[in-house]
Amino acid sequence: MASKAPGVMTRDMSMVHTGFLREFFLMPELVRTVFEGDRRRAEIVHDHVGLISMGLHHHHHAEDLEIWPRLLERAPEEIRPLVHGMEEHHELIGTLTTRLIQELATWRADPTLQSRTVVEGTLGELLPVVREHLNDELKYVLPLIEKHIQAEEWDAMAAANFGALPPDLLPVAVGLFMYEAEPAQVRELLDNIGEEVRVVISEMAPKAYGDYAERVYGTRTPPLWSSIATR
């Protein structure tokens, strides 16, 4: 694979973060609009939150394995002040998402106002941390990644992220990140998918996410992060 031009890896990550932020910050409304006793709808929301949380976990795990050790080795004075805060964020996000999934399971089994309120409370704790963490990565960490991480290393991390997904969910995940991405970002995203399935996935992904969004949100075109972020 050809070397990436400066800024390309940052562009990749910006697209991924936008997808995560959109999906996480639409969760409170999804939960709030489930009527008491509607187990079918509660199950859909439960499964969606679980999928997005799993995706963020894989994203962080890949960073922990592939990015932080290399930055600490190659740029210790630049990265060390950031490591503690980033690791604290990862731990807190992991704790809160685990708790959220447990609370969602209780709510799914018995969707009452009380169990919904518990879920909403944990989302209220989680979302500011997710936003701060992802924004801090873009602002402080990605310039160091561009400077010290090789394109091949970055591509390996991205490929591992997609490889961790069940194959049937890959089109949905790709479509989720493509949804409000620029064409150049989409090309870079597809470069991290195996060549043998790249064309098929690129054609399937927009429809797969549209179908998924219609089931979750009731529309194939949920709000963009650019509109949610200013609320």
Interval 206-227: pLDDT, tens = 999 999 999 999 999 999 999 9
Looking at residues 131-150, what average pLDDT do you find?
A: 91
* pLDDT tens per residue, range 145-204: 888 988 888 878 877 777 778 888 989 999 999 999 998 888 887 877 767 778 888 889
Mean pLDDT on 3-14:
65
Q: Is residue 149 part of a domain?
A: yes
Q: Which whole-number Å values give the CA distances from 94 to 44, 145, 165, 178, 180, in the listed order?
A: 22, 23, 18, 25, 26
Does residue 219 sit within a domain? Answer: yes
Distances in whole angstroms, Cα of residue 95 to Cα of each of 85, 116, 122, 134, 203: 15, 19, 11, 17, 36
Domain that holds residue 17: 8-228
pTM: 0.91
Residue 112 has pLDDT above 90, yes or no: yes
In this predicted structure, what is the pLDDT of residue 67?
Answer: 87
For residue 7, what pLDDT is reported?
A: 54
Average pLDDT over residues 27-31: 98
Our count of domains for the chain comes to 1
- Which of 3-17, 73-87, 104-118 is the most confident on average? 104-118
In a domain, 200, yes or no: yes
In a domain, 29, yes or no: yes
What average pLDDT score do residues 123-141 get? 95
Residue closest to 30 by CA, chosen among 52, 5, 2:
52
pLDDT score of 9 more than 90? no
CATH classification at residue 33: 1.20.120
Residue 1, in any domain of the structure: no
Contacts 24+ apart (CB under 8 A), 44-51: 44/215, 44/216, 45/104, 45/108, 45/216, 46/104, 46/105, 46/107, 46/108, 48/23, 48/216, 49/100, 49/101, 49/104, 50/101, 50/104, 51/169
Q: Does residue 79 sit within a domain?
A: yes
Asked if residue 3 is part of any domain, the answer here is no
Q: Would residue 63 count as lying in a domain? A: yes
pLDDT at 2 over 50: no
Average pLDDT over residues 11-31: 94
